[in-house]
């Protein structure tokens, strides 16, 4: 039976995929500079990833129940890294939009955005690890 507890796990995979694939496009755009579509694709995946991470974070806060014991500790760590992922992604998405608006995409500021994207990619991986640990070690029963 479907309950609201299922919403968070259902949407949680979108930011993971969007952020990691978007960052890979950004890396490829460094090697293939003449292919403008790579960086543009990375940008669009960043923007959609930022939106999806907000939705995923809010679904976790709103629709999941509080846990106790060791599961609570893992959940707290998962929530912390989810919050950090959301903050870095939203800041980066807004910063990239600002760079485009001010026509400063080809300045050294792009490296700051790239660094934030790299940090977000690592953070989403850590968040996913703790989310998976929580799901498989504490919530799923066979």
Average confidence score pLDDT of the chain: 92
Q: Which domain holds residue 132?
A: 4-139
Environment class of 109 (CB within 10 Å of its CB; exposed 0-12, middle 13-18, buried 19+): middle
How many whole angstroms separate alpha carbon 66 and alpha carbon 84? 20
In the predicted structure, residue 42 carries a pLDDT above the cut 80: yes
Higher pLDDT pick, 58 / 140: 58
User: What local confidence, expressed as pLDDT, does residue 65 receive?
Assistant: 86
Share of the chain above pLDDT 90, in %: 72
How large is the average pLDDT for residues 107-118? Answer: 93
CB atoms within 10 A of CB 23: 21
pLDDT tens digit string along 4-37?
Answer: 878 898 999 999 999 999 999 999 988 887 777 8
Environment class of 86 (CB within 10 Å of its CB; exposed 0-12, middle 13-18, buried 19+): buried
User: Is the distance from CB of 56 to CB of 127 less than 8 angstroms?
Assistant: no
By 3-state DSSP, what share of the chain in percent is helix, strand and coil, each rounded to 5? 85, 0, 15
Which pLDDT band holds residue 1 (cuts at 50, 70, 90)?
low
How many whole angstroms separate alpha carbon 6 and alpha carbon 64? 8
* pTM score: 0.91
User: Is the distance from CB of 85 to CB of 124 less than 8 angstroms?
Assistant: yes
In the predicted structure, residue 142 carries a pLDDT above the cut 60: no
In the predicted structure, residue 141 carries a pLDDT above the cut 70: no
Tally of domains in the chain: 1
């Amino acid at each position: 039976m479907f309950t609201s507890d299922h919403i968070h796990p259902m949407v949680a995979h979108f930011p993971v995929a969007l952020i990691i694939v978007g960052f890979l496009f950004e890396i490829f755009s460094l090697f293939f500079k003449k292919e403008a579509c790579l960086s543009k694709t990375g940008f669009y995946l960043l923007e959609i990833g930022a939106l999806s991470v907000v939705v995923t974070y809010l679904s976790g806060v709103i629709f999941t129940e509080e846990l106790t014991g060791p599961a609570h500790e893992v959940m707290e760590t998962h929530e912390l890294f989810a919050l950090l992922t959301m903050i870095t992604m939203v800041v980066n998405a807004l910063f990239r939009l600002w760079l485009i608006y001010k026509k400063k995409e080809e300045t050294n500021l792009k490296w700051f955005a790239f660094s934030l994207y790299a940090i977000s990619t690592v953070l989403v991986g850590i968040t996913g690890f703790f989310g998976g640990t929580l799901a498989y070690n504490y919530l799923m029963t066979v």
